[in-house]
Each structure stands twice: as C-alpha cells, then as structure tokens.
C-alpha cells in the first residue's frame, strides 16, 4: 500500500471579477457576500433577555459586532440588554467589551467599538416585574423614533423556566402580538435557545405555551450547528454538483457516520450535565439536524418552508427504535473521572458518550445504516459526516482486496475544526506494475476562498432579522426528534449499564463492537500531542 497523498486543489470562486464589479450596484447587499445577494435586514431593535449571562459575552455580542463590521446591520439598529442587575447603557457596554475583544473574530479597535457601543442600551429589573417592561417599552418607543419602524427581535437567553413569565409580560404590555408575519407590518420575532424541553412531553408543553403567545412564523428555535457554514454547505454540495446527487442513495452508499467528538470534559458543568447528558445535549438536536440535511430529498426551492418540509419528512421516515434495538444498537459511555466532577453523583449513570445506529425507511435510504456518535473527553475535537461508498466488484482487484489495500471511497464533510471536504479514493502507484494505493484529496475553506468563516450566531441573528427561518427548527421537527430519542432516554434512565472509557481515548470498546456487527468501523479518533 502506498503512502496517502494529500492533493490540494486550487479552487477559484466563480466569476470573481464580474461579481466584484456588480456588487456595488446591488442595493442592500452585505459586504463580502460574493456568491449570494442576501438583503440587509431592516432597521431593528434587538432585545436580549439575560444579557449579563455568558452567552451574550461569548456569542451574541461578538456576533453582532462582527455583523456590524461586515456592513450587515441597517441603520439604526438598537441592541437593548435586559437583566436583573441594575446598570446604565454605558456600563453594559463596558461589561461586554472585554468578552467581545476576547471572542470576536475581528479586532476590536476604539473607532469601531464606539460605533457598536452607540447601539447599546440596557434595562435592569426582575423578569416578573411590570416596571421592567414599562421601561423596556419606553426604550423601544425611543428606538422606533430613531427609525427602527417598530421592528423588534426578542432573544430569550434565559433558562426555559423563565420563558412563560417573560412572554406573558411582553404580551401584557403590548410588546408582542400573535400574528402571521407579513412584509407590510412591523416585524415581531422571538428567538428561543435550547434545550427545548428535556423530553417529548416537556417539549410539547413548551411548544404549546409559546404557541399561545406567538404564531409559528414568529418563533425562531435556534440550533447553532445549523448556522455553521460547513453544515449549510451540505445542501450546496449535494444539489449544486451533478456528480454527487446521482450517487446519494442506497445503490452507491454503504453506510454513513456522523460524529461530534470533544476532547474537553464537562468543564465544571456537572449539575447541568447530570440533568442533560450527551443524548439531550448533542444527539437529539445537533446530530439529528445534520442527519436530516444529509438525507433529505431535493426541495422545491431554497425557500425556508420548502427546506424544512423535506427535513421534517425524512425525520418522519427514520425507523423508531425498539427495545431490542436500544439494547443492541445503542451504546452509552462515561469517561473515567466524570463521577468526581463537582455536582455529579458518585454513582451517576449519565452518559458522556453515546453511539447509535438508525435506519431510514425510504426509497432512497432503505438498508443504509446511519451511525451517530457524540462524546466528551475523547481523543480529539472533531465534527464531521463521513459518507462510505460501496466497494467495487473485486474481479480485477482480488489481490489488493485480500491485502486491504483496496478501500472503498469515502467522502468526508468536516464541520469543525479545519472546515473542509475530503475524498479518499484509489489511484495507481507510479511504476511498471498495476499497483494501487489510497489517496486523499482535500479542500479547506480557509485555503480555497481566502476569507474568514463567519461564526454561526452571526448568520442566525442576521437571518432572524431578515425573517428567514431556513436554519431554525420548526415545531414538527422538534417533536419528531424527541419521539425518536425518547425510547433511548427512557430505557437508559430506568436501567444501569454505562460503559467506562479513559479520557483521551476514542470511546468505549462497546461502540466499536456495535458498528463492527454490521461489518463497518468508525473513523479513527487520533490523540494529538
């Protein structure tokens, strides 16, 4: 077998010169968006509940700052923080400046920070107090007078238990109204953070509660995985290249792996993880959403509901897991040392690792196994989709097949880190004899397009302000995801049986045994020095 060769193709974004020459004539285009002409959102007031929390400092404020630098925010845009702590708008700006400087992908300099801090305002008070919403309404009226036209986005960056009182008070004070969103009326949208319930029953209760205050067109259930460029590229790769879509079915694909591995542990979040576990934290939302993008049928268009219709349809085609399948095709693991973490029970059965096999009962995917795995404390940080194609007939390659030289082609979509796409295939080794070797052709976004990749929250916040719900979860998909995962949660929580694994390892051996029963194997997780 020859050594693997890395082929780095030079990719040229199409019609760069023409695109650059025409960009200035496109009204409302966001700076730097060469391929698509997405409109700049209307002037909007963005209200963040829980604004002094970690999410605002690490994700939301840096995202809005970078969108501003990229020319994505219309003027005026007003950002109002709401939290229990009492402070002025200037103090709020001082509070978020340090985390923005730490987490922003672009430099924070005095001139641009002054522009951004000029958008910030703040209201302090209890979420259940009328005074808080009286003050907020006054600030929104000021923003409307500046030119936001009454457009508003409410971001609920709070625990779900706070949602009912916040929505009730917003409705009571006339800040939200339940209505279908239309272009001719001021927009009113609400972003809801995960976890969206902890099981099917609580998810449905939460949906019912939110739906009593808001129309479905106003509800934006956020999953930051869907905002990642590499996740969005799954659709472009499939439907924008005629060489892939004809092969994207049971006739050519042997099996599919979807992996979300983290090298870090729970990082002091023991109490949270004891209530959540890896299935609720990663698989129920992130990985099932990636699965739906990989397996959905061709949508009628890229309109939000056309895409979400197809995602919902493929999730409905996933075969429900039986008791026997949970026992044989689902593996739970826990890294050694988890039980010594603060806030963790000494006899905890909560999984920090999970792997499972799912089948899709559809014409396209019948008989193709999909292996999902996610875990903490593993050998490396890696999120990817690996499409394993079927082996060629071995008439010509009997010797190579016997020596494991002739390996099937694998298309890998790397979501993070080192975002890109790779294709493993066989080629002839130079020389007189017909010898074959496996080679790897790779494309990385950083090298191919010579431009930084935006953070997921940048895209998602922009899309919400535009009223584009493509990358947000719809109610039916959320319910279906819980329906699929519910048997696993119920059986695992009722019976002990976690498999232990060492930190820095690929995970429990039971997961390798599970996938091997189908004649398959995981992509190896490698510990880096």
Distances (CA, A) of 369 to 388, 392, 433, 488, 514: 11, 19, 37, 17, 12
Instruction: Sheet with 120-124: list strands edge to edge.
Output: 120-124, 78-83, 45-49, 152-156, 188-192, 219-221
Distances (CA, A) of 314 to 81, 120, 196, 468: 39, 42, 21, 21
Determine whether 173 is an active site residue: no
Distances (CA, A) of 151 to 77, 122, 170, 266: 10, 18, 15, 39
Q: Supply the DSSP string of 189-232, one letter for each residue.
A: EEEEPSP--SSHHHHHHHHHHHHHHS-GGGEEE--GGGGSHHHH
Distance from C-alpha of 334 to C-alpha of 353, rounded to nearest angstrom: 6
Rounded to 5 degrees, φ, ψ at 79 are -115, 115
Apex 468 CA angle, 41 and 36, nearest 5: 70
Distance from C-alpha of 206 to C-alpha of 480, rounded to nearest angstrom: 15
Neighbours of 293 (CB within 10 A): 21
Cα–Cα nearest to 67, from 455, 417, 381: 455
| Candidates 173, 286, 388, 523; catalytic one | 286
Query: Active-site residue numbers?
Result: 286
């Amino acid at each position: 077998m020859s050594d693997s060769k890395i082929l780095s193709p030079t990719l040229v974004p199409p019609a760069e010169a023409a695109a650059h020459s025409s960009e200035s004539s496109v009204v409302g285009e966001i700076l730097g968006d060469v391929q698509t002409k997405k409109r700049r959102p209307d002037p909007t007031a963005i209200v963040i509940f829980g604004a002094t929390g970690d999410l605002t400092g690490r994700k939301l404020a840096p995202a809005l700052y970078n969108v501003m630098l990229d020319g994505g925010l219309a003027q005026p845009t007003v950002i109002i923080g709401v939290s229990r702590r009492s402070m002025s708008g200037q103090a709020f700006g001082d509070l978020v400046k340090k985390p923005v400087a730490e987490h922003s992908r672009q430099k924070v300099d005095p001139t641009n920070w002054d522009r951004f801090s000029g958008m910030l305002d703040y209201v302090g008070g209890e979420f259940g107090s009328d005074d808080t919403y009286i003050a907020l309404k006054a600030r929104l009226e000021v923003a409307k007078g500046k030119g936001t036209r009454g457009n508003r986005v409410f971001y609920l960056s709070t625990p779900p238990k706070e949602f009912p009182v916040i929505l009730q008070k917003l409705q009571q004070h006339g800040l939200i109204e339940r209505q279908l969103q239309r272009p001719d009326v001021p927009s009113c949208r609400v972003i809801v953070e995960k976890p969206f319930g902890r099981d099917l029953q609580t998810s449905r209760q939460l949906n019912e509660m939110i739906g009593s205050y808001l129309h479905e067109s106003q509800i934006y259930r956020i999953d930051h995985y869907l905002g990642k460029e590499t996740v969005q590229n799954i659709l472009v790769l499939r439907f924008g290249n005629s060489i892939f879509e004809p092969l994207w079915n049971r006739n050519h694909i042997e099996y599919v792996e979807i992996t979300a591995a983290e090298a870090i542990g729970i990082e002091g979040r023991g109490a949270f993880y004891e209530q959540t576990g890896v299935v609720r934290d990663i698989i129920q939302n992130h990985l099932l959403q990636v699965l739906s993008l990989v397996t959905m049928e061709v949508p009628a268009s890229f309109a939000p509901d056309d895409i979400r219709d197809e995602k919902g349809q493929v999730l409905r085609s996933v075969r429900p897991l039986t008791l026997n399948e949970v026992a044989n095709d689902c593996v739970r693991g826990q890294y050694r040392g988890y039980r010594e973490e603060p806030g963790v029970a000494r006899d905890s059965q909560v999984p920090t690792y999970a792997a499972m096999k799912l089948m899709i009962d559809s014409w396209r995917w019948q008989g193709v196994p999909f292996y999902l795995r996610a875990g903490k404390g593993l050998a490396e940080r890696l999120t990817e989709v690996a499409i394993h194609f079927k082996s060629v007939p071995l008439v010509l390659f009997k010797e190579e097949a016997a020596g494991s030289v002739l390996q099937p082609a694998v298309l890998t979509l790397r979501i993070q880190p080192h975002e890109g796409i790779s294709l493993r295939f066989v080629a002839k080794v130079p020389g007189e004899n017909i010898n074959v070797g496996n080679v790897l052709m790779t494309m990385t976004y950083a090298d191919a397009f010579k431009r930084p990749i935006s953070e997921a929250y940048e895209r998602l916040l922009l899309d919400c302000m535009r009223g584009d719900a493509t990358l947000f979860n719809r109610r039916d998909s959320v319910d279906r995801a819980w329906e699929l995962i519910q048997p696993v949660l119920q059986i695992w929580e009722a019976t002990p049986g976690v498999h232990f694994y060492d930190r820095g390892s690929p995970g429990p051996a039971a997961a390798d045994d599970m996938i091997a029963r189908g004649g398959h194997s995981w992509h190896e997780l490698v510990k880096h020095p």
